[in-house]
Protein backbone atom coordinates (compact mmCIF):
# COMPACT_ATOMS: atom_id res chain seq x y z
CA UNK A 1 0.00 0.00 0.00
CA UNK A 2 1.23 3.54 -0.69
CA UNK A 3 2.49 5.60 2.24
CA UNK A 4 0.59 8.72 1.18
CA UNK A 5 -2.72 9.12 3.07
CA UNK A 6 -4.55 10.55 0.08
CA UNK A 7 -3.36 7.62 -2.02
CA UNK A 8 -4.64 5.11 0.51
CA UNK A 9 -8.05 6.78 0.39
CA UNK A 10 -8.09 6.41 -3.41
CA UNK A 11 -7.18 2.73 -3.06
CA UNK A 12 -10.09 2.25 -0.65
CA UNK A 13 -12.37 3.90 -3.19
CA UNK A 14 -11.13 1.55 -5.91
CA UNK A 15 -11.95 -1.44 -3.70
CA UNK A 16 -15.50 -0.18 -3.22
CA UNK A 17 -15.82 0.57 -6.94
CA UNK A 18 -14.71 -2.87 -8.09
CA UNK A 19 -16.84 -4.66 -5.50
CA UNK A 20 -19.91 -2.85 -6.81
CA UNK A 21 -18.86 -3.64 -10.38
CA UNK A 22 -18.57 -7.32 -9.49
CA UNK A 23 -22.06 -7.33 -8.02
CA UNK A 24 -23.47 -5.70 -11.15
CA UNK A 25 -21.53 -7.81 -13.67
CA UNK A 26 -22.76 -11.05 -12.13
CA UNK A 27 -26.41 -10.05 -12.14
CA UNK A 28 -27.28 -7.46 -14.81
CA UNK A 29 -27.65 -9.64 -17.89
CA UNK A 30 -29.40 -12.36 -15.90
CA UNK A 31 -31.90 -9.80 -14.57
CA UNK A 32 -32.79 -8.22 -17.89
CA UNK A 33 -33.13 -11.55 -19.68
CA UNK A 34 -34.83 -13.68 -17.02
CA UNK A 35 -36.79 -11.11 -14.99
CA UNK A 36 -37.52 -8.22 -17.36
CA UNK A 37 -37.82 -10.61 -20.32
CA UNK A 38 -35.63 -8.84 -22.87
CA UNK A 39 -34.33 -11.09 -25.70
CA UNK A 40 -30.75 -12.18 -25.02
CA UNK A 41 -29.72 -11.26 -28.57
CA UNK A 42 -31.04 -7.70 -28.11
CA UNK A 43 -29.20 -7.36 -24.81
CA UNK A 44 -25.97 -8.49 -26.46
CA UNK A 45 -26.48 -6.05 -29.35
CA UNK A 46 -27.12 -3.22 -26.91
CA UNK A 47 -23.92 -3.99 -25.04
CA UNK A 48 -21.96 -3.89 -28.30
CA UNK A 49 -23.44 -0.51 -29.22
CA UNK A 50 -22.77 0.78 -25.71
CA UNK A 51 -19.15 -0.32 -26.04
CA UNK A 52 -18.80 2.07 -28.98
CA UNK A 53 -20.08 4.92 -26.81
CA UNK A 54 -17.54 3.88 -24.18
CA UNK A 55 -14.80 3.90 -26.79
CA UNK A 56 -15.59 7.43 -27.99
CA UNK A 57 -16.48 9.22 -24.74
CA UNK A 58 -13.12 9.57 -22.90
CA UNK A 59 -11.50 12.18 -25.17
CA UNK A 60 -14.30 14.79 -25.19
CA UNK A 61 -14.84 14.31 -21.46
CA UNK A 62 -11.08 14.53 -20.96
CA UNK A 63 -11.20 17.90 -22.72
CA UNK A 64 -13.94 18.96 -20.28
CA UNK A 65 -11.72 17.86 -17.38
CA UNK A 66 -8.77 19.87 -18.70
CA UNK A 67 -11.00 22.93 -18.85
CA UNK A 68 -13.04 22.59 -15.67
CA UNK A 69 -10.91 20.35 -13.47
CA UNK A 70 -10.38 16.61 -13.20
CA UNK A 71 -11.85 16.30 -9.70
CA UNK A 72 -15.00 18.25 -10.52
CA UNK A 73 -15.56 16.27 -13.72
CA UNK A 74 -14.83 12.92 -12.07
CA UNK A 75 -17.15 13.58 -9.12
CA UNK A 76 -19.98 14.68 -11.43
CA UNK A 77 -19.51 11.54 -13.53
CA UNK A 78 -19.59 9.41 -10.38
CA UNK A 79 -22.85 11.03 -9.30
CA UNK A 80 -24.26 10.46 -12.79
CA UNK A 81 -23.25 6.81 -12.61
CA UNK A 82 -24.78 6.42 -9.16
CA UNK A 83 -28.07 7.92 -10.29
CA UNK A 84 -28.03 5.92 -13.52
CA UNK A 85 -27.39 2.54 -11.93
CA UNK A 86 -30.13 3.26 -9.38
CA UNK A 87 -32.58 3.58 -12.30
CA UNK A 88 -31.93 0.06 -13.61
CA UNK A 89 -34.61 -1.61 -11.44
CA UNK A 90 -37.17 0.74 -13.04
CA UNK A 91 -36.35 -0.31 -16.61
CA UNK A 92 -39.11 -2.37 -18.23
CA UNK A 93 -38.38 -2.22 -21.97
CA UNK A 94 -35.53 -2.43 -24.45
CA UNK A 95 -35.44 1.27 -25.37
CA UNK A 96 -34.99 2.37 -21.76
CA UNK A 97 -32.33 -0.28 -21.23
CA UNK A 98 -30.47 0.78 -24.38
CA UNK A 99 -30.45 4.52 -23.61
CA UNK A 100 -29.39 4.08 -19.99
CA UNK A 101 -26.72 1.50 -20.81
CA UNK A 102 -25.16 3.67 -23.53
CA UNK A 103 -25.05 6.70 -21.21
CA UNK A 104 -23.51 4.68 -18.39
CA UNK A 105 -20.93 3.01 -20.63
CA UNK A 106 -19.83 6.46 -21.81
CA UNK A 107 -19.52 7.70 -18.23
CA UNK A 108 -17.83 4.51 -17.03
CA UNK A 109 -15.06 4.54 -19.63
CA UNK A 110 -14.34 8.25 -19.17
CA UNK A 111 -13.63 7.81 -15.45
CA UNK A 112 -10.52 5.64 -15.75
CA UNK A 113 -8.16 8.24 -17.31
CA UNK A 114 -9.50 10.93 -14.98
CA UNK A 115 -8.68 8.74 -11.99
CA UNK A 116 -5.14 8.39 -13.34
CA UNK A 117 -4.84 12.20 -13.43
CA UNK A 118 -6.19 12.52 -9.89
CA UNK A 119 -4.05 9.70 -8.50
CA UNK A 120 -0.90 11.21 -10.01
CA UNK A 121 -1.57 14.60 -8.40
CA UNK A 122 -2.61 13.19 -5.02
CA UNK A 123 0.24 10.69 -4.78
CA UNK A 124 3.09 12.82 -6.14
CA UNK A 125 6.03 11.64 -8.20
CA UNK A 126 7.42 9.04 -5.80
CA UNK A 127 4.11 7.33 -5.04
CA UNK A 128 2.31 7.79 -8.37
CA UNK A 129 3.02 4.41 -9.94
CA UNK A 130 2.70 2.52 -6.66
CA UNK A 131 -0.70 4.09 -6.08
CA UNK A 132 -1.96 3.07 -9.52
CA UNK A 133 -0.57 -0.43 -9.01
CA UNK A 134 -2.31 -0.72 -5.64
CA UNK A 135 -5.56 0.45 -7.22
CA UNK A 136 -5.21 -2.24 -9.88
CA UNK A 137 -4.47 -4.92 -7.28
CA UNK A 138 -7.46 -4.11 -5.07
CA UNK A 139 -9.69 -3.97 -8.14
CA UNK A 140 -9.00 -7.67 -8.69
CA UNK A 141 -9.82 -8.37 -5.05
CA UNK A 142 -12.97 -6.26 -5.07
CA UNK A 143 -14.20 -7.77 -8.31
CA UNK A 144 -13.87 -11.27 -6.87
CA UNK A 145 -15.67 -10.22 -3.68
CA UNK A 146 -18.48 -8.67 -5.71
CA UNK A 147 -18.88 -11.72 -7.93
CA UNK A 148 -19.02 -14.02 -4.90
CA UNK A 149 -21.42 -11.69 -3.11
CA UNK A 150 -23.75 -11.65 -6.09
CA UNK A 151 -23.63 -15.44 -6.26
CA UNK A 152 -24.73 -15.65 -2.63
CA UNK A 153 -27.60 -13.19 -3.10
CA UNK A 154 -28.73 -14.76 -6.37
CA UNK A 155 -28.95 -18.14 -4.69
CA UNK A 156 -32.45 -16.89 -3.92
CA UNK A 157 -33.24 -15.03 -7.17
CA UNK A 158 -36.06 -12.53 -7.02
CA UNK A 159 -36.72 -9.00 -8.22
CA UNK A 160 -35.99 -7.76 -4.70
CA UNK A 161 -32.58 -9.48 -4.70
CA UNK A 162 -31.63 -7.91 -8.02
CA UNK A 163 -32.89 -4.50 -6.90
CA UNK A 164 -30.76 -4.72 -3.76
CA UNK A 165 -27.66 -5.48 -5.82
CA UNK A 166 -28.32 -2.59 -8.21
CA UNK A 167 -28.89 -0.11 -5.38
CA UNK A 168 -25.78 -1.21 -3.47
CA UNK A 169 -23.76 -0.73 -6.66
CA UNK A 170 -25.36 2.70 -7.20
CA UNK A 171 -24.55 3.83 -3.66
CA UNK A 172 -20.92 2.79 -4.15
CA UNK A 173 -20.44 5.56 -6.73
CA UNK A 174 -21.56 8.27 -4.32
CA UNK A 175 -19.19 6.81 -1.72
CA UNK A 176 -16.33 6.91 -4.24
CA UNK A 177 -17.07 10.55 -5.10
CA UNK A 178 -16.84 11.44 -1.41
CA UNK A 179 -13.58 9.50 -1.01
CA UNK A 180 -12.00 11.25 -4.00
CA UNK A 181 -12.85 14.65 -2.52
CA UNK A 182 -11.43 13.50 0.81
CA UNK A 183 -8.23 12.24 -0.80
CA UNK A 184 -7.61 15.57 -2.54
CA UNK A 185 -8.26 17.44 0.70
CA UNK A 186 -5.86 15.12 2.54
CA UNK A 187 -3.16 15.75 -0.07
CA UNK A 188 -3.47 19.54 0.31
CA UNK A 189 -3.15 22.47 -2.07
CA UNK A 190 -0.17 20.92 -3.86
CA UNK A 191 -2.54 18.29 -5.25
CA UNK A 192 -5.53 20.55 -5.78
CA UNK A 193 -3.70 23.13 -7.90
CA UNK A 194 -3.01 20.95 -10.98
CA UNK A 195 -6.52 19.47 -10.76
CA UNK A 196 -8.46 22.74 -11.01
CA UNK A 197 -8.39 22.94 -14.80
CA UNK A 198 -7.40 25.71 -17.15
CA UNK A 199 -10.76 27.42 -16.83
CA UNK A 200 -10.26 27.74 -13.06
CA UNK A 201 -6.75 29.08 -13.02
CA UNK A 202 -5.13 25.72 -12.53
CA UNK A 203 -3.28 25.37 -15.81
CA UNK A 204 -1.04 27.30 -18.11
CA UNK A 205 -4.02 28.67 -19.97
CA UNK A 206 -5.68 30.17 -16.95
CA UNK A 207 -3.13 32.35 -15.12
CA UNK A 208 -4.82 35.49 -13.91
CA UNK A 209 -3.21 38.75 -14.78
CA UNK A 210 -0.93 37.33 -17.43
CA UNK A 211 -2.05 40.00 -19.87
CA UNK A 212 -2.00 37.58 -22.78
CA UNK A 213 -4.80 35.59 -24.38
CA UNK A 214 -5.01 31.90 -23.45
CA UNK A 215 -2.93 29.67 -25.65
CA UNK A 216 -4.47 26.77 -27.47
CA UNK A 217 -4.00 23.52 -25.59
CA UNK A 218 -2.17 20.74 -27.44
CA UNK A 219 -4.23 17.86 -28.77
CA UNK A 220 -3.17 14.21 -28.87
CA UNK A 221 -4.56 13.87 -32.40
CA UNK A 222 -1.69 16.01 -33.73
CA UNK A 223 0.95 14.34 -31.55
CA UNK A 224 2.33 11.58 -33.78
CA UNK A 225 4.58 10.09 -31.11
CA UNK A 226 1.76 9.88 -28.61
CA UNK A 227 -0.61 8.33 -31.14
CA UNK A 228 2.03 5.71 -32.00
CA UNK A 229 2.53 5.05 -28.30
CA UNK A 230 -1.23 4.69 -27.80
CA UNK A 231 -1.58 2.25 -30.71
CA UNK A 232 1.46 0.24 -29.60
CA UNK A 233 0.12 0.06 -26.07
CA UNK A 234 -3.24 -1.17 -27.35
CA UNK A 235 -1.58 -3.98 -29.30
CA UNK A 236 0.57 -4.98 -26.32
CA UNK A 237 -2.62 -5.04 -24.22
CA UNK A 238 -3.90 -7.95 -26.31
CA UNK A 239 -2.57 -10.15 -23.50
CA UNK A 240 -5.73 -9.08 -21.63
CA UNK A 241 -8.02 -10.54 -24.29
CA UNK A 242 -5.74 -13.55 -24.63
CA UNK A 243 -6.00 -14.37 -20.93
CA UNK A 244 -9.65 -13.51 -20.33
CA UNK A 245 -11.43 -14.32 -23.61
CA UNK A 246 -9.16 -16.56 -25.66
CA UNK A 247 -7.85 -18.80 -22.87
CA UNK A 248 -11.14 -20.61 -22.01
CA UNK A 249 -11.89 -21.23 -25.70
CA UNK A 250 -8.30 -22.37 -26.30
CA UNK A 251 -8.51 -24.90 -23.45
CA UNK A 252 -11.65 -26.42 -24.96
CA UNK A 253 -10.69 -26.42 -28.63
CA UNK A 254 -6.90 -26.75 -28.79
CA UNK A 255 -5.85 -28.90 -25.81
CA UNK A 256 -6.68 -32.19 -24.13
CA UNK A 257 -7.18 -30.47 -20.77
CA UNK A 258 -10.41 -30.90 -18.85
CA UNK A 259 -12.69 -27.88 -19.09
CA UNK A 260 -12.41 -27.41 -15.32
CA UNK A 261 -8.79 -26.28 -15.74
CA UNK A 262 -9.93 -23.07 -17.42
CA UNK A 263 -11.05 -21.29 -14.20
CA UNK A 264 -7.93 -22.60 -12.46
CA UNK A 265 -5.73 -20.94 -15.07
CA UNK A 266 -7.74 -17.71 -14.74
CA UNK A 267 -7.30 -17.86 -10.97
CA UNK A 268 -3.53 -18.13 -11.42
CA UNK A 269 -3.69 -14.93 -13.46
CA UNK A 270 -5.70 -12.94 -10.92
CA UNK A 271 -3.69 -14.21 -7.93
CA UNK A 272 -0.34 -13.40 -9.52
CA UNK A 273 -1.62 -9.96 -10.49
CA UNK A 274 -2.44 -9.12 -6.88
CA UNK A 275 1.00 -10.32 -5.74
CA UNK A 276 3.03 -8.70 -8.51
CA UNK A 277 1.44 -5.26 -8.26
CA UNK A 278 3.15 -4.78 -4.90
CA UNK A 279 6.63 -5.46 -6.29
CA UNK A 280 6.76 -4.13 -9.86
CA UNK A 281 6.25 -0.34 -9.35
CA UNK A 282 9.70 0.15 -7.80
CA UNK A 283 11.26 -0.56 -11.20
CA UNK A 284 9.37 2.21 -13.05
CA UNK A 285 10.06 5.40 -11.13
CA UNK A 286 11.25 7.26 -14.22
CA UNK A 287 11.10 7.06 -18.00
CA UNK A 288 14.27 4.99 -18.28
CA UNK A 289 13.00 2.40 -15.81
CA UNK A 290 9.61 2.26 -17.52
CA UNK A 291 11.20 1.68 -20.93
CA UNK A 292 13.28 -1.16 -19.46
CA UNK A 293 10.04 -2.74 -18.25
CA UNK A 294 8.64 -2.51 -21.79
CA UNK A 295 11.61 -4.57 -23.01
CA UNK A 296 11.05 -7.11 -20.23
CA UNK A 297 7.37 -7.19 -21.15
CA UNK A 298 8.24 -8.24 -24.69
CA UNK A 299 10.40 -11.12 -23.44
CA UNK A 300 7.80 -12.45 -21.02
CA UNK A 301 4.96 -12.19 -23.53
CA UNK A 302 7.07 -14.00 -26.12
CA UNK A 303 7.78 -16.75 -23.59
CA UNK A 304 4.07 -17.03 -22.82
CA UNK A 305 3.18 -17.33 -26.51
CA UNK A 306 5.84 -20.01 -27.02
CA UNK A 307 4.56 -22.04 -24.07
CA UNK A 308 0.94 -21.77 -25.26
CA UNK A 309 1.99 -23.04 -28.69
CA UNK A 310 3.97 -25.89 -27.09
CA UNK A 311 1.03 -26.86 -24.87
CA UNK A 312 -1.07 -27.65 -27.95
CA UNK A 313 1.39 -30.36 -29.00
CA UNK A 314 1.95 -32.08 -25.63
CA UNK A 315 0.04 -34.83 -23.79
CA UNK A 316 -2.36 -33.76 -21.07
CA UNK A 317 -0.18 -33.36 -17.96
CA UNK A 318 2.75 -31.89 -19.84
CA UNK A 319 0.28 -29.60 -21.59
CA UNK A 320 -1.05 -28.46 -18.21
CA UNK A 321 2.45 -27.60 -16.99
CA UNK A 322 3.13 -25.65 -20.17
CA UNK A 323 -0.22 -23.85 -19.90
CA UNK A 324 0.47 -22.89 -16.28
CA UNK A 325 3.89 -21.58 -17.30
CA UNK A 326 2.34 -19.67 -20.19
CA UNK A 327 -0.25 -18.01 -17.97
CA UNK A 328 2.41 -17.12 -15.40
CA UNK A 329 4.71 -15.64 -18.05
CA UNK A 330 1.94 -13.67 -19.72
CA UNK A 331 0.66 -12.44 -16.35
CA UNK A 332 4.14 -11.21 -15.50
CA UNK A 333 4.24 -9.41 -18.83
CA UNK A 334 0.79 -7.96 -18.15
CA UNK A 335 1.90 -6.46 -14.85
CA UNK A 336 5.25 -5.20 -16.14
CA UNK A 337 3.50 -3.53 -19.05
CA UNK A 338 0.70 -1.95 -17.03
CA UNK A 339 3.17 -0.25 -14.67
CA UNK A 340 5.40 0.91 -17.54
CA UNK A 341 2.45 2.25 -19.53
CA UNK A 342 1.09 4.25 -16.59
CA UNK A 343 4.42 5.97 -16.10
CA UNK A 344 5.14 6.65 -19.76
CA UNK A 345 1.62 7.81 -20.63
CA UNK A 346 1.80 10.34 -17.80
CA UNK A 347 5.24 11.59 -18.77
CA UNK A 348 4.23 11.94 -22.43
CA UNK A 349 1.12 13.99 -21.58
CA UNK A 350 1.39 17.80 -21.46
CA UNK A 351 0.18 19.08 -18.10
CA UNK A 352 -2.34 21.49 -19.64
CA UNK A 353 -3.98 18.72 -21.71
CA UNK A 354 -3.41 15.69 -19.52
CA UNK A 355 -7.08 14.74 -19.38
CA UNK A 356 -7.34 14.57 -23.18
CA UNK A 357 -4.04 12.75 -23.58
CA UNK A 358 -4.73 10.09 -20.97
CA UNK A 359 -8.25 9.68 -22.35
CA UNK A 360 -6.79 9.05 -25.81
CA UNK A 361 -4.33 6.62 -24.24
CA UNK A 362 -7.20 4.71 -22.63
CA UNK A 363 -8.85 4.39 -26.05
CA UNK A 364 -6.02 2.10 -27.15
CA UNK A 365 -6.81 -0.27 -24.31
CA UNK A 366 -10.56 -0.05 -24.89
CA UNK A 367 -10.09 -0.67 -28.62
CA UNK A 368 -8.34 -3.97 -28.05
CA UNK A 369 -11.20 -5.03 -25.79
CA UNK A 370 -13.62 -4.30 -28.63
CA UNK A 371 -11.63 -5.75 -31.53
CA UNK A 372 -9.33 -8.18 -29.70
CA UNK A 373 -11.84 -11.03 -29.30
CA UNK A 374 -12.56 -11.05 -33.04
CA UNK A 375 -8.85 -10.99 -33.89
CA UNK A 376 -7.75 -13.66 -31.43
CA UNK A 377 -10.72 -16.03 -31.33
CA UNK A 378 -12.17 -15.73 -34.84
CA UNK A 379 -9.04 -15.10 -36.92
CA UNK A 380 -6.00 -16.46 -35.06
CA UNK A 381 -7.28 -19.42 -33.02
CA UNK A 382 -8.09 -21.54 -36.14
CA UNK A 383 -4.40 -21.29 -37.11
CA UNK A 384 -3.41 -23.65 -34.30
CA UNK A 385 0.09 -23.13 -32.84
CA UNK A 386 0.81 -20.57 -35.54
CA UNK A 387 -1.71 -18.27 -33.84
CA UNK A 388 0.79 -17.75 -31.04
CA UNK A 389 3.57 -17.07 -33.52
CA UNK A 390 1.47 -14.33 -35.13
CA UNK A 391 0.60 -12.89 -31.72
CA UNK A 392 4.28 -12.95 -30.77
CA UNK A 393 5.08 -10.98 -33.92
CA UNK A 394 2.39 -8.42 -33.08
CA UNK A 395 3.87 -8.02 -29.61
CA UNK A 396 7.35 -7.52 -31.11
CA UNK A 397 6.17 -4.80 -33.50
CA UNK A 398 4.22 -3.07 -30.72
CA UNK A 399 7.26 -3.16 -28.44
CA UNK A 400 9.39 -1.42 -31.05
CA UNK A 401 6.69 1.21 -31.48
CA UNK A 402 6.38 1.75 -27.73
CA UNK A 403 10.14 2.08 -27.26
CA UNK A 404 10.44 4.56 -30.14
CA UNK A 405 7.53 6.72 -29.07
CA UNK A 406 7.82 6.28 -25.31
CA UNK A 407 10.88 8.44 -24.74
CA UNK A 408 9.58 11.72 -23.29
CA UNK A 409 11.01 14.91 -24.77
CA UNK A 410 12.01 17.30 -21.97
CA UNK A 411 10.06 20.54 -22.00
CA UNK A 412 12.14 23.72 -22.13
CA UNK A 413 12.31 25.72 -18.92
CA UNK A 414 14.40 26.39 -15.91
CA UNK A 415 12.83 23.78 -13.71
CA UNK A 416 13.40 21.03 -16.22
CA UNK A 417 16.91 22.21 -17.01
CA UNK A 418 17.93 21.98 -13.41
CA UNK A 419 16.98 18.35 -12.99
CA UNK A 420 16.75 15.22 -15.15
CA UNK A 421 13.24 14.62 -13.78
CA UNK A 422 10.93 14.76 -16.84
CA UNK A 423 7.79 15.45 -14.80
CA UNK A 424 6.14 18.86 -15.00
CA UNK A 425 6.64 20.81 -11.78
CA UNK A 426 2.93 20.91 -10.97
CA UNK A 427 2.81 17.12 -10.54
CA UNK A 428 5.61 16.94 -7.99
Q: What ranges do the domains of the chain cover?
A: 5-199, 221-409
Domain covering 5-199: architecture: Up-down Bundle (1.20)
Q: What is the DSSP letter of 418?
A: T
| Secondary structure class of 115 (helix, strand, coil) | helix
Question: What digits encode the pLDDT tens for the residues 88-120?
Answer: 999 999 999 999 999 999 999 899 889 888 888
Pick the CATH number of 221-409 from 1.20.1250.20, 2.40.110.10, 3.30.470.20, 3.40.50.300: 1.20.1250.20
Instruction: Enumerate long-range contacts of 416-421, CB under 8 Å, 24 or more apart.
Output: 421/125, 421/286
Return the axis-axis angle of helices 354-373 and 70-87, rounded to nearest 10°: 40
Task: Confirm if 233 and 225 have CB atoms less than 8 A apart.
Answer: no
Give the model's pLDDT for residue 155. Answer: 73
Of the candidates 331, 391, 341, 330, the one whose C-alpha atom is nearest the C-alpha of residue 364 is 341
Give the model's pLDDT for residue 414. Answer: 36
Give the model's pLDDT for residue 406. Answer: 84
The distance from CA 21 to its chain's CA centroid, rounded to whole angstroms, is 13
Question: What digits encode the pLDDT tens for the residues 47-69?
Answer: 888 888 988 888 899 889 888 88
Q: Record the pTM.
A: 0.77
Q: Is the pLDDT of residue 419 over 50?
A: no
Identical fold for domains 5-199 and 221-409, yes or no, is yes
The secondary structure of 311-357, three-state, reads HCCCCHHHHHHHHHHHHHHHHHHHHHHHHHHHHHHHHCCCHHHHHHH
Compute how many other C-beta atoms are within 10 angstroms of the C-beta atom of residue 390. Answer: 15
CA 91 to CA 171: how far, in whole Å? 18
Question: What digits encode the pLDDT tens for the residues 341-369?
Answer: 988 988 898 888 888 889 899 888 888 88
Q: What is the DSSP letter of 86?
A: H
CA 197 to CA 205: how far, in whole Å? 9
Question: What digits encode the pLDDT tens for the residues 257-313?
Answer: 888 888 788 888 888 888 887 778 777 777 888 899 999 999 999 999 999 999 999
CA 418 to CA 67: how far, in whole Å? 29
| Secondary structure class of 379 (helix, strand, coil) | helix
Q: Is the pLDDT of residue 422 over 50?
A: no
- Read off φ and ψ for residue 154, nearest 5 degrees: -80, 0
Q: Is the pLDDT of residue 22 over 90?
A: no
- % residues pLDDT > 70 (the chain): 87
Quick one: CA torsion of 52, 57, 58, 60, rounded to 10 degrees?
Answer: 140
Amino acid sequence: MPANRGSRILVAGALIDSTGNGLFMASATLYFVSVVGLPASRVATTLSIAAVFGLLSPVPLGRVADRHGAVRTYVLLMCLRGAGYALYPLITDLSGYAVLTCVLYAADRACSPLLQVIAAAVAGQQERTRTLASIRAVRNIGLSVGLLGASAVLGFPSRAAFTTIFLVNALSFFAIAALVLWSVKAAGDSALSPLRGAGNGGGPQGHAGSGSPPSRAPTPFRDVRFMVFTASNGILSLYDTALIVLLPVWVIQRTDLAHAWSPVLLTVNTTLTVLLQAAVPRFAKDAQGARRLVKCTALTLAAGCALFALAEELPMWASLVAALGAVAAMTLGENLHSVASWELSYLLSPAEARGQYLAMFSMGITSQKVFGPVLLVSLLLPLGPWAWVVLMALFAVATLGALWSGKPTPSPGADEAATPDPLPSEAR
